[in-house]
Structures are given as C-alpha cells and as structure tokens.
Amino acid sequence: MTRPVRPFYIWVARLAVGGLFLAACLSKIHDPQAFALVVYRYRLLPDILINIMAILLPWMECVTALAVLFATARWRAAGSFLIGGMLLVFTLAISLNLIRGIEISCGCFSTRADVAVSDGWNLFRNVALIWLSTVVFLDAFRRMQAQAEERPS
C-alpha cells in the first residue's frame, strides 16, 4: 500500500513552526541570565521558578522544534502538541501583560534590550503559529493512525 503524498503546505507548516522555534531557542540558550531577566519581567511566576523556567524552556523549544523538523510521525505529533501548548501559554502571558499595561519586549526571539515592546502583532503571530502547529499535529496524528492500521495484527 503506497502512502499518500504529503501536501506541500504540510512541509511549509513544519518548516515554519520548527524553524521559528529553533531560531527562538538560540539566544535564550546562549544567554540564560538575560533570558531569566526576560522571564522575571513578565511578573507572572513566583521568584523560585524564574531561573528554572529560564534553564528548561529554551531546551523544550529546541527539542520540540527538532522533533517537528526531523522526527517520525509519533515524535512529530508530540513535538507539535507541546509547541501548541507552549504557544498558548506564551499568548496568554503576553495578553495578560498587555491588559496590565506592562510594556516589555516578549523575549520570543531575542533577549537583547533593544527589541520592540510586545503588541497585538505578537498575539497575531502566535495565533498563526498555533494554527500551523495544529496542522502539523493533525497530519502527524493521521500518519500515526495509518501506520498502526498498516501493521499486521
């Protein structure tokens, strides 16, 4: 049985989601102290969790991005599911700060100080990425199911 050819847009979605998350983790891994300050400035986490978040989050972004870009359907599904979850949390955090009037840069792709302050564009971009990660997840999930059906019982 031949597998269906994957539509072009799935590749684009994988490249966009995986590529952006891979790009996003680089500056955070490079300078964890600057990223901890970014996390602190959100004023959403208790102090005790700020550094732990700054240590773990960039690697969560890195590992899930690699899974979406290069792994088999099972790991791709898990990676895109986790990326969708992270994006939901990021979107909620940025929204809360916009509502509270806290003017900080989102720290999404850079920990530098000269990055523009978060605004509605960040929310729009995140919603678009959530949609793309859902597309990647559904494709990977369907492939997992197809592979399971192909296996001899």
Partner 1 sequence: MASCAILLLIAGGTGLVVNALRPASSRLPWANDWSRHIEAKAFQAGIPVTFLMGVRESLLDEDIVVLDARPYEKFMEGHLPGAWSLPIGEVGERIGDYVHLLAAETPLLLYCDGADCSDSLELAIELRGYGFSDVTLYPGGYEEWQAYGGDIVSGGMP
Nearer to partner 1 (CB atom), residue 104 or residue 123: 104
3-class SS at 72? Answer: coil
3-class SS at 27? Answer: helix
**55 sits near partner 1 (criterion: CB under 8 A):** yes
Each residue 62-91 as x (binds partner 1 by CB under 8 A) or -, in order, gives xxx--x------xx-xxx-xx---------
φ and ψ at 42, to 5 degrees?
A: -70, -25
3-class SS at 151? Answer: coil
CA distance 139 to 73: 8
Contacts (CB under 8 A) with partner 1, residues 91-130: 103-105, 113-117
Per CB under 8 A, the list member of 15, 23, 26, 32 interacting with partner 1 is 32
CA distance 140 to 33: 36
Interface residues with partner 1 (CB under 8 A) are 29, 31-33, 36, 40-41, 43, 47-48, 50-52, 54-56, 58-60, 62-64, 67, 74-75, 77-79, 81-82, 103-105, 113-117
